[in-house]
Amino acid sequence: MNRMHIMPVKRIDGEIRVQGDKSISHRAVIFGSIANGAVTVTNFLHSDDCIATMMVFKAMGVSIEEPRRDTLEIHGKGLNGLTEPPDILEMGNSGTSARLLCGLLSGQPFFSVMTGDSSLRRRPMKRVVEPLRLMGANIWGRSDGDHLPLAVKGGGLKGISYRLPVASAQVKSAVLLAGLYAEGKTSVEEAAPTRDHTERMLRYFGASLELEKDGKVITIKGGERLYARDIEVPGDISTAAFFMVGASILDGSEIMIKDAGLNPARTGIIDVLKEMGASIDVSNIRDRSGEPVGDIYVRSSCLKGIEISGEIIPRVVDELPVLCVAAAVADGETLIKDAAELRVKESDRIAVMAECLSAMGVKVEVFDDGMRITGGKRLKGAICNSHGDHRIAMSMAIAGLVADGETIIEDTECIKTSFPGFEETLRSICK
Ligand code: S3P
């Protein structure tokens, strides 16, 4: 089992660029593959999760070249150019691949089987299978289709109007992808806004979407043609989040993160940290392939505990583990509510963060949909197991920087699902 050893540091300092955004890298491969023409993707996140998505399209006959580690040349085959994969499709640890591709495969007139690693095979799939079956897809799987492996025989779909029972961009995107292949119109309505990278990329490729109710209802017409355009993937704000929290909690720190994605559905981390008292400035905002990007400057400050709940949750869903670390250092209590989704991520992030922070001497009370963290006491170095969850491993590495003594993170292999260069980047700014 891989381990990471972290010793306390004085401060972090420097200018970094984080790797390409994971959500947008997945979508660049998906939409590039079904666009008409060639698409060059730069700053592609070369991580296990995004590679899983790329391998699926290669298995369906799409030619994808990799002239550099972070550059793809995708020869899009148009909406109806994919071919039946000759073998089982392996999604690895990636929920985004499994859920979005379940939607895409439902639109294909061929047979396919998807599976994933032991963590992904435990994660709920009914949330996508249910609407896709309503559209006419034939999907078989364990637990009546709630768990991978899933077998899909798609084609012949009909558009539906669907209200999402969970705030999930993956479910929204799966239904919109199937909608591209359905007869008539497909509408999804979300209760709380989630990341809209799918909608932005569809528009960037020339598809027309109708938005109603402040963007909460999204409608797509079947058969929209996608026109190939190059994509420059913004830096991943979810990986920037680790350094934002690190710089906030380590006295005397100062960090500049260049070219980070600033999609408003993803900037909850900035809003929450600022509410906790963090010193963060965003500058140089511009458009990159339909997404806002900019530079994020963070200086250390005294954080205080707050409540994190309600509509902000989908905007910080992936950053809650590292926000738990901020909460452990902040003065007073932080209450996280309405976050039951954390229980069905790569690990049960409520249970695992509680276990890791408790090992470091932090008082944590756990609820079904969140936790209460009492901060302000100096953390103790400890042995923390990531349970195979990349965001837990990276969050606990940040916690280790402010703890007394050594922190050992066990099971760190998973970090390469989203951020293969994490340890090098972190070590390069530790003083
Ligand atoms: C993602 C959506 C989120 C997020 C995941 C990536 C996406 O999941 O947690 O890391 O790219 O659409 P949910 O849609 O399940 O909330």
What is the per-residue pLDDT across 6-42, written as a single tens digit (0 to 9) for each? 999 999 999 999 999 999 999 999 999 999 999 999 9
> Of ligand 1's atoms, which has the minimum distance to the CA of residue 344?
15
Q: What is the DSSP string of 279-311?
A: EEEEEEEEEETTEEEEEEEEE----B--EE-GG
pLDDT band with cut points at 50, 70 and 90 for residue 214: confident
Q: Convert the pLDDT of each residue in 61-113 to its tens digit.
A: 999 999 999 999 999 999 999 999 999 999 999 999 999 999 999 999 999 99
Report the separation in Å between the CA atom of 28 and the middle of ligand 1, taken as the mean of its atom positions. 15
Q: For residues 288 and 374, what is the distance between their CA atoms, to the nearest angstrom?
A: 40
With cut-offs at 50, 70 and 90, classify the pLDDT of residue 1. confident
The confidence score (pLDDT) of residue 44 equals 98
For the chain, give the mean pLDDT. Answer: 97
CB 400 within 8 A of CB 421: no
With 90 as the cut, is the pLDDT of residue 191 above it? no
Is the shortest distance between the CB of 318 and ligand 1 below 6 Å? yes
Tell me what pLDDT residue 235 has.
98
- Answer yes or no: is the C-beta of 417 below 6 A from any ligand 1 atom: no
Question: For a substitution probing ligand 1, which of 97, 170, 315, 419 has the most ligand atoms within 8 Å of its CB?
Answer: 170
3 band by pLDDT with thresholds 50, 70 and 90: very high
- Please, what are the domains in the chain? 3-20+234-429 (3.65.10.10), 22-232 (3.65.10.10)
Distance 335 CA to ligand 1 centre (A): 22
Q: Ligand 1 center to residue 249 CA distance, Å?
A: 27
Q: What pLDDT is recorded for position 110?
A: 98
CB atoms within 10 A of CB 132: 29
> pLDDT (tens digit, 9 = 90+) per residue, 246-297?
999 999 999 999 999 999 999 999 999 999 999 999 999 999 999 999 999 9
Question: Is the C-beta atom of 33 inside 6 A of ligand 1?
Answer: no
Atom of ligand 1 nearest to the CA of 317: 9
What is the share, in percent, of the chain residues with pLDDT greater than 70?
A: 100
Residues labelled as active-site residues = 318
The torsion angles phi and psi of 66, rounded to 5 degrees, stand at -125, 80
Residues 6 or more apart in contact with residue 234 via CB below 8 angstroms: 20, 21, 24, 43, 259, 260, 261, 262, 288, 289, 291, 292, 293
Ligand 1 within 6 A of CB of 317: yes
Residues 6+ apart with CB under 8 A from 266: 195, 237, 238, 315
Nearest CA to ligand 1 atom 9: 318
215 confidence band (pLDDT: 50, 70, 90): confident
CA distances from 114 to 91, 94, 163 (A): 7, 12, 26
The protein residue with its alpha carbon nearest to ligand 1, atom 13, reads: 168
Residue 224's φ and ψ, nearest 5 degrees, are: -55, 130
Q: Which three-class secondary structure string do you get for 48-69? A: HHHHHHHHHHHHCCCEEEEEEC
